[in-house]
Amino acid sequence: MKFEKPPLSVKQQVDLLMERGMTGDRALMIERLLVVGYYRLSGYWYPFRKAVAQPVELPEGAEPDETFLPGTSFETVWRRYAFDRRLRLLIIDAIERFEVTLRTQIASHHCQQHGPFGYALERASRPKLKRADFAEFYAGVLEELGRSKETFIKHFYTKYGDEHDVPPMWETAEVLTFGSLVTFYKSTTHNVKQSVASVFGVPDTVMESWLLALNTVRNICAHHSRLWNRELGVKPMIPLLRDYPDWHVPVKVGNERIFGVLTICKYCLSRIAPQSGWSDRLVELLDAYPDVPVASMGFPANWPDCPIWKPPSKENLRGQGYGS
């Protein structure tokens, strides 16, 4: 089928929305659509379309109803967009803390077990990679190092470049992309995986699935895409009930929507940055937007009863070297 929809001006876009039943201040709608486009916002008003909220079977070839449910306002749609934006920033903050620790731990444990240059010179340090894949990884590392503007990378090549093609792992780990870091973890030895995962308090198989999910969510955030009610394409593994009851009783943590990832962030930050106050800021965000249906994010009705979401005690914080 040939695409024949004509481009519309912002004023025409607002007129179309109002014709379909969306209410709002026309001037404000124009102002906001000038900075956040129609197509980007369409994902936030999609649940308010009659065809979505009240689906009916259509005759073959018939177009779905494009009108909105009665009472749909542009302000409600905008609040969901604003909430999602703040949610993404909060998640990026959590992932940044997680990522810095991950880089540190991978570099430390890999170097201790395989030396500072084993990551690039010894296939035995990366047993999950075939010979061709190891060569491809090495070429990718060289490319990322070549793009790096970091002073410490330039210093290494100035001082040691006559003898070494790559810096030691603890330097290289700081310039690898998060995706490359995830690939590194997946392909390294079981002992390294276990050592890194133990820092976060989970088995290495669970950690690997978390890395894949967090990398996906990180990319969604980096592209400023809709996140709040998205069904995750890459679903993180939930730890087993017999070993990790807090994930199941009295609240079962799901893995299909963002609540599962938020719980992973809370779980990890409780171990590596319990002083951050990150979960308090999430609760403040939810309280500021009571009109946003958290069930669409995968939040169970009784989610505050989940032990993972309980605030750490002051005694626990002092025991880990935080607080007074």
Q: How far apart are CA 284 and CA 183, in angstroms?
A: 35
pLDDT band at 149 (very low <50, low <70, confident <90, very high): very high
| Tokens 């002073």 belong to residue | 151
Supply the angle between the helices 204-222 and 178-187 in degrees, to the nearest 10.
Answer: 160
Mean pLDDT in residue range 113-122? 91
The tens digit of pLDDT for each residue in 237-247 reads 999 999 999 99
pLDDT of residue 112: 95
pLDDT band at 128 (very low <50, low <70, confident <90, very high): confident
pLDDT of residue 134: 86
CA angle, 287 then 293 then 294, to 5°: 70
pLDDT of residue 220: 97
Asked if pLDDT for residue 4 goes beyond 90, the answer is no
pLDDT of residue 314: 54
Count of CA atoms in the C-beta half-sphere (13 A) of 134: 16
pLDDT of residue 313: 59
pLDDT of residue 316: 46
pLDDT of residue 312: 65
Q: How far apart are CA 225 and CA 233, in angstroms?
A: 14
Mean pLDDT in residue range 81-107? 97
pLDDT band at 2 (very low <50, low <70, confident <90, very high): confident
The tens digit of pLDDT for each residue in 263-292 reads 999 999 999 999 999 999 999 999 999 999
The tens digit of pLDDT for each residue in 302-318 reads 999 999 999 765 544 43
Asked if pLDDT for residue 198 goes beyond 60, the answer is yes
Alpha-carbon separation of residue 287 from 257, 273, 291, 294 (angstroms): 20, 23, 9, 11
The tens digit of pLDDT for each residue in 290-305 reads 999 999 999 999 999 9
Mean pLDDT in residue range 189-194? 95
Asked if pLDDT for residue 323 goes beyond 60, the answer is no
pLDDT of residue 317: 45
pLDDT of residue 40: 96
The percentage of residues in the chain with a pLDDT greater than 90, rounded to a whole number, is 82
pLDDT of residue 56: 77
Asked if pLDDT for residue 107 goes beyond 70, the answer is yes
pLDDT band at 1 (very low <50, low <70, confident <90, very high): confident
The tens digit of pLDDT for each residue in 14-25 reads 999 999 999 999
Looking at every residue in the chain, the average pLDDT score rounds to: 92
The burial class, CB within 10 Å (0-12 / 13-18 / 19+), for 322 is middle
Q: Is the separation of the CB atoms in 126 and 119 below 8 Å?
A: yes
